[in-house]
Amino acid sequence: MTDALAVQEQNKDLKELVKREYKEGFVTEIESETFEPGLSEDVVRRISAKKNEPEFMLEYRLKAFRVWQKMKEPDWAHIDYPKIDFQDIAYYSEPKQKPKLDSLDEVDPKLLETYERLGIPLEEQKMLANVAVDAVFDSVSVRTTFRETLSEAGVIFMPISEAVQEHPELVKQYLSSVVPVQDNYYAALNSAVFSDGSFVYIPKGVRCPMELSTYFRINEMNTGQFERTLIIADEGSYVSYLEGCTAPQRDENQLHAAVVELVAHKDAEIKYSTVQNWYPGDENGKGGIYNFVTKRGICKGDHAKISWTQVETGSAITWKYPSVVLQGDNSVGEFYSVALTHNKQQADTGTKMIHMGKNTSSTIISKGISAGHGQNAYRGLVKIMKGADNARNFSQCDSLLMGDRCGAHTYPYVEVQNPSANLEHEATTSKISEDQLFYLMQRGLNEEAAVSMIVNGFCKEVFRELPMEFAVEAQKLLDISLEGAVG
Amino acid sequence: MIAIDQTQSWLDQHSLTQFSEPAWLSAQRAQALSRFEKIGLPGVRDEQWRYTNLRKLKSQALSVSSPANLGIELSSSNFVRLVFVDGHFDADHSSSIDQSGVHLSSLKHALDNQADLLETHFGASLPQDAHGFTELNTAFSQDGFVLHVAKNTAVDQIIEVVFVSQSKQSLSHTRNLIIAEANSQCTVVERHIGVPDAVYLSNTVTEVIAGDNAIVDHYKIQQESDEAFHMGAAFVKQANGSQVSNHNVALSGLVTRNDIVSDLLGGGAHMEMNGLVLGQGRQHIDNHTQVNHLVANCTSDEYYKSILDDQSRSVFRGRIIVAQDAQQTNADQQNNNLLLSDKAEADTKPQLEIYADDVKCSHGATVGQLDQTSLFYLKSRGINAGSARALLTFAFANEVIDRIKVDSIKNELTQLIAGELLSGLEDLV
């Protein structure tokens, strides 16, 4: 009966694993300067002043703030959470440090240590080959690596707060050109109070020599993180951009409301990958990040391409629809997503593909995994406008259910106004097949390993789209997030 | 806020007590009316109506017409037939069924003779969040049909109910009940027709209660006038092992909306929903279906297709909800749309909401045009382009028609659709 013993042994391991803590949940003890909670015109002005912003930015923020005041919180998503008190959040927090950083030596060692612990070393020699990182800590960007190497190629990669100073013309031209201020409640809020984020400009014909990446970290209590990312790929250029996120483990919920805008000109390609691992809350749903994000890209020119890949394992609540507006003829939009909800996590995520140009095509592959009490919803829109001749869309949304208290939901919207469009949507929902599980286990795999193999197979189509280091990371993350979901 | 005024004036004409109705019914009507006053008619800001604009309806002045003689010729039929004219029962053109255990009559008649049965079932299958038209129907339905099939009885004839709208600017609310007790079987065909070009609103609700192992086949063929508004709803409750099919064919009408909801309340129940939309001119057809898998071991199968020409528009929303305890559910849903013209539009929202884990659910939706390879194949066999298109379009529709179990209806629809589409085929021979 050694088998029985082995199973018992495994179950014990499993139970221990379930108790495993969110390993990114530590807090960095660092002195920081944080605004007192509350939001008013004055706070918006102070943020702008803090950043030393030109007049046009202040006006932009104030306009957004006024728009936001008139808007109502959206409530249509399949998520359930107590009302957020927007006056109870601090809108700005930065680690106390010298005003200008000339070299890495001047970065607070505690910050360096934080990123070290997160597996994101900021010293260039230690970096994974060929990835430039912008590290954002609460409201400010701590350090951007490889800036010199990149600027040789003409690539601008810097915190958006610096871009406002150094390239105001670009910021002015493109900021809110994809996500208008009045687009939605959280986008308006973000436009009013965003503190930092990354700015990328790839000049004509340049293939960005390395992967660009931003690592977002919420550290301070009671703060919201409102970052803004703007990526512009000029004609014929290419860039691959990665984003990662973590936060300390806390009992109260924290708000993260980001806006990401992508602009791809003629023949340009942007590949945007996210591995989102904000603190998801504990097994009773206490704490965790509210991740309310607006992400949208526009294929402005012909033959442009935008590809979103996301692995969403964290956050108590995810509300996010990375979208592509296919304006140029023959442009391509892609969306690959793995969203996992465990314990009491809730996710309402999906994409919008707006076909405007001729011969445009889009692909949507969404894989949702629900375990424990997790609620996972795919919500997407594919819209074919009148002029979008020969548009093509393929959507596939699969859900995997683990446990009898979780939910998986699919809400696709399809609107077609052009008869030459060709559009397919399919969705399936099922649990892990007993047959597959049995097969793997009778080949000697234990249940955990078998489930992990099946889940990874289920997500393979999406992981394949991630840059290699990220794919490995994502796979590990998924395994960890699913620990304890079996049995 | 149209019709509140209109219906109010109608209410004055036909005060509710005029029918000397039982108290429970008056109470239900009053409740429905007060709910309607709260929610009003749906608008495009309402998520369930975002693709269906009722502006054209709201600008009409409609009123309830008084009973009148049937003004059109009905084709002959082998079925047992009930006829309603502008919502009023027409006994002269109706036949009756003489089979023990089978009661078929008008709602008014049933209220006098089967009051207890109606008290139990009338309004019991309506969802909590019914929209304004359904509430209006409960409040003002003047008549409709009631079919009651006793235990262990199979109705040996097909029942056909014809709703004729002939008065211009008329407004009719018809309410129907099909009550099939345990181990019974019946087939009901609803037809909705109107005189050409008449503007009117036909608002009809059918409640279906299927007992243990009952088999109910429910057909609805909508051939309203090209200027008509049709609001239809079917609310179904299914017990253990019952098998209900709802076939919904929309052939004309200006604005059509159908809400079909089935609650699967007993293990082993099966719901089949089939739909076919042929859109032409400025027709707008909105089909909302919902299957609630509330207990374990039920199955559902849904198949909706639209063929859209000219400036027609089809809206489909299919919702499958699998409750936490509804393990071993098997649910499938397909919605395919064929766009024949560059002004036509298809909007589709297939939705799955699943709270149980041991389930097999899938949905698929497509919007597109005829397959070029198939067209090429037919042309390569010497069939001209027009005929090839007609053949393929017909084949597309035929997949739904094939699911119809009543031969005469199947033939009728085949001929009708073939007539529309295959006129080009004559060149072939």
DSSP string, A214-275: EEEE--STTB-B-BEEEEEE-TT-EEEEEEEEE----SSEEEE--EEEEEE-TT-EEEEEEE
Residue A298's closest CA among A338, A336, A260, A244?
Answer: A260
Nearest to B247 by CA among B291, B217, B277: B217
Distance (Å, whole) CA A451 – CA A445: 9
- Residue B204: the pLDDT is 96
Please check whether residue B359 touches A, CB under 8 A. Answer: yes
Which string of b and e fits B137-176 if b means at least 16 CB within 10 Å?
bbbbbbbbbbbbbbeebebebbbbbbbbbbbeebbbbbbb
Residue contact B348–A414, C-beta within 8 A: yes
Residue A221, both tokens: 């209590």
Of B351, B354, B368, the CB nearest to A407: B354
Helices H, strands E: what count in chain A? 11, 24
State the CB neighbour count (10 A cutoff) for residue B367.
30
In the predicted structure, residue B10 carries a pLDDT above the cut 70: no
Provide the pLDDT confidence category of residue A107 given band limits of 50, 70 and 90.
Answer: low
pLDDT exceeds 70 at position A197:
yes
CB atoms under 10 Å from CB of B392, counted, come to: 18
Q: Which of B344, B349, B354 sits opposite A413 (nearest CB)?
A: B349
pLDDT at B319 over 50: yes
Pick B3 or A471 by higher pLDDT.
Answer: A471
Backbone angles phi, psi at B56, to 5 degrees: -60, -35
Nearest one of B162, B205, B221, B159 to B185, comparing CA atoms: B159
Around B67, how many Cα atoms within 13 Å sit in the side-chain half-sphere?
Answer: 10
Q: How confident is the model at residue B426 (pLDDT cuts 50, 70, 90)?
A: low
Which pair of structure tokens corresponds to residue A409? 């939901």
| Identity of the amino acid at A246 | T
Half-sphere exposure of A125 (CA within 13 A, CB side): 1
Q: Which candidate from B339, B358, B364 shows the least CB-CB separation from A425?
A: B364
Query: How confident is the model at residue B154, as a pLDDT?
Result: 96
| CA–CA separation, B391 and A412 (whole Å) | 31
**Kind and range of the H or E element at A318?**
strand A317-320
For tokens 């949702």, name the residue.
A368
- Whether A16 shows a pLDDT value over 80: the answer reads no
User: Is there a contact between B327 and A414 if contact means CB atoms under 8 Å apart?
Assistant: no
Radius of gyration of chain A (CA): 22
DSSP 8-state assignment for residue B266:
S
Confidence band (pLDDT; 50, 70, 90) for A138? Answer: low
Judge whether residue B148 has pLDDT over 80: yes
Measured between beta carbons, the chain B residues lying within 8 angstroms of A416 are 337, 339, 345-347, 367
DSSP state of A398: E
CA distance B255 to B281: 11
- Which ranges in A293-387 belong to alpha helices (H)? none
Q: Characterize the bridge pairing of strands A156-159 and A198-202.
A: antiparallel
Size of interface A-B (CB pairs under 8 A): 117
| CB-based contact A430 B337, cutoff 8 Å | no
**Distance from C-alpha of A390 to C-alpha of A204, rounded to nearest angstrom:** 29
Tokens representing A131 are: 């990835």
Residue of B315, B395, B366 lying closest to B51 (CA atoms): B315
Q: Taking a C-beta distance cutoff of 8 angstroms, is the pair B295, B329 a contact? A: no
Three-class DSSP category at B350 = strand
Yes or no: say if B166 and B194 are a contact pair by the CB < 8 Å rule. yes
CB B143 within 8 A of CB B84: yes
Q: In this predicted structure, what is the pLDDT of residue A279?
A: 82
Q: Which of B421, B425, B97, B90 is nearest to B278 (CA)?
A: B421
Minimum Cα–Cα distance from B361: chain A residue: A429
What are the pLDDT digits (tens) for A209-225? 888 888 777 766 667 78
Helix-helix angle A185-193:A41-50, to 10 degrees: 50
Total length of chain B: 429
B chain contacts of residue A414, beta-carbon cutoff 8 Å:
346-349, 365, 367
How high does pLDDT run on average in chain A?
A: 82
Nearest CA in chain B to A407: B355
3-state secondary structure of A71: coil
Interface test with A, best of B313, B354, B359, B369 (most A CBs within 10 A): B354
> Mean pLDDT, chain B, as a whole number?
90
Report pLDDT for A117. 65
Residues on chain A touching B367 (C-beta within 8 angstroms): 384, 414, 416, 421-423
CB contact set of B120 (below 8 Å; sequence gap of 6+): none
Please identify which residue in the block is written with the tokens 């959040």.
Answer: A89
Flag if A425 and B350 touch (Cβ within 8 Å): yes
With contacts defined as CB-CB under 8 Å, which chain A residues touch B349?
A: 411-414
**Element housing A190 (H / E):** helix A185-193
Rounded mean pLDDT of A379-389? 93
Tell me the H-state helices in B324-364: none
Contacts of residue B75, Cβ cutoff 8 Å, sequence gap at least 6: none
Distances (CA, A) of A429 to A10, A199, B331: 29, 39, 10
Contact A406, B322 (CB under 8 A): no
Q: Which residue has the higher pLDDT, B121 or B4?
A: B121
Look-up of token digits 């931003």 = A214
Cβ atoms of A405 and A373 within 8 Å: the answer is yes
- Which residues of chain A have a CB within 8 Å of the CB of B346? 414-416
Residue of B nearest to A418 (CA): B342
Q: pTM of this prediction?
A: 0.83
